[in-house]
């Protein structure tokens, strides 16, 4: 629909010929008051916000944040329009004159201020970029490491550990269904080869109740790596 169209010319367009006078008056009022143009601008704002939603997490924005988001979209659109117009001026085959230099300088300052406004609004919104593929992989690795750490802590808190009291070799890790039962006992022999090629040979007999009362271990001076 061209700008500056008369009411009669508008009425003669195919899409409006069969409208009632009442319906056509609504169309004319919208057109003459600039509502049509506003709708186009609103569509641009909506499209820009949709673009933001692909890159940023907007789910938790409150009502006042949405107003700032709308202003941010408008700022981006305005910047795009200025950049487009600036490009047109620079590429015109009219040579360089003072008026063109002045206009370009003026637009450059305006665009610089718009960029500052955009940066300020982004800070106010405190919106973060959605997780990209690489970030997802990184987060997945971090989550797996966290699960492994928690599983290890869970394991260590519930398992019993038996070291050779002579050479401090870990001989047994296990869990008892009924650790309070005094008849639960295990017999272990340490077969670690020592530096002189001899075998440690330490033998011990220990019960689950004893381990339970000693916080799951059989010796007080547990190896440093276990602490």
Question: Which one has a higher pLDDT value, 6 or 128?
Answer: 6
Collapse the DSSP code of 204 into the 3-class scheme (helix H, G, I; strand E, B; otherwise coil) and give the result: strand
Least confident of 33-47, 52-66, 129-143, 163-177: 129-143
Please name the residues in contact with 169: beta carbons below 8 A apart, sequence gap of 6 or more: 163, 190, 192, 200
Packing angle, helices 63-91 and 98-125, rounded to 10:
160
Work out the pLDDT band at 33, boundaries 50, 70, 90.
low
- In the chain, which ranges are continuous DSSP H helix? 7-11, 21-32, 35-55, 63-91, 98-125, 133-158, 208-213
Kindly tell me if the per-residue pLDDT of 36 is higher than 60.
no
Q: pTM for the complete prediction?
A: 0.43
Whole-number Cα distances in Å, 47 to 83, 172, 190: 19, 64, 73
- DSSP state letter for 34: T
Please name the residues in contact with 89: beta carbons below 8 A apart, sequence gap of 6 or more: 100, 103, 104, 107
Question: Which one has a higher pLDDT value, 9 or 128?
Answer: 9
pLDDT attached to residue 1: 47
Kindly tell me if the per-residue pLDDT of 193 is higher than 80.
yes
Least confident of 5-9, 60-64, 98-102: 5-9
């Amino acid at each position: 629909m061209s700008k500056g169209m008369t009411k009669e010319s508008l009425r003669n367009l195919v899409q409006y010929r069969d409208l009632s006078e009442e319906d056509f008056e609504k169309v004319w009022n919208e057109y003459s008051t600039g509502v049509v143009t506003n709708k186009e601008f609103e569509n641009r704002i909506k499209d820009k916000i949709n673009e933001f939603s692909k890159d940023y997490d907007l789910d938790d924005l409150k009502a006042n944040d949405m107003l700032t988001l709308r202003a941010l979209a408008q700022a981006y659109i305005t910047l795009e329009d200025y950049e487009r117009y600036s490009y047109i001026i620079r590429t015109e085959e009219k040579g360089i004159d003072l008026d063109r230099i002045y206009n370009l300088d003026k637009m450059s300052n305006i665009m610089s201020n718009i960029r500052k406004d955009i940066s300020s609004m982004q800070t106010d919104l405190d919106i973060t970029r959605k997780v990209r593929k690489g970030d997802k992989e990184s987060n997945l690795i971090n989550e797996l490491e966290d699960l492994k750490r928690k599983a290890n802590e869970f394991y260590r808190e519930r398992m019993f550990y038996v070291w050779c009291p002579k050479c401090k070799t870990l001989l047994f890790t296990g869990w008892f269904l009924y650790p309070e039962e005094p008849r639960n006992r295990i017999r272990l022999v340490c077969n670690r080869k020592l530096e002189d090629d001899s075998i440690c040979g330490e033998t011990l007999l220990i019960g689950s109740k004893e381990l339970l009362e000693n916080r799951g271990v059989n010796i007080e001076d547990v190896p440093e790596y276990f602490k």
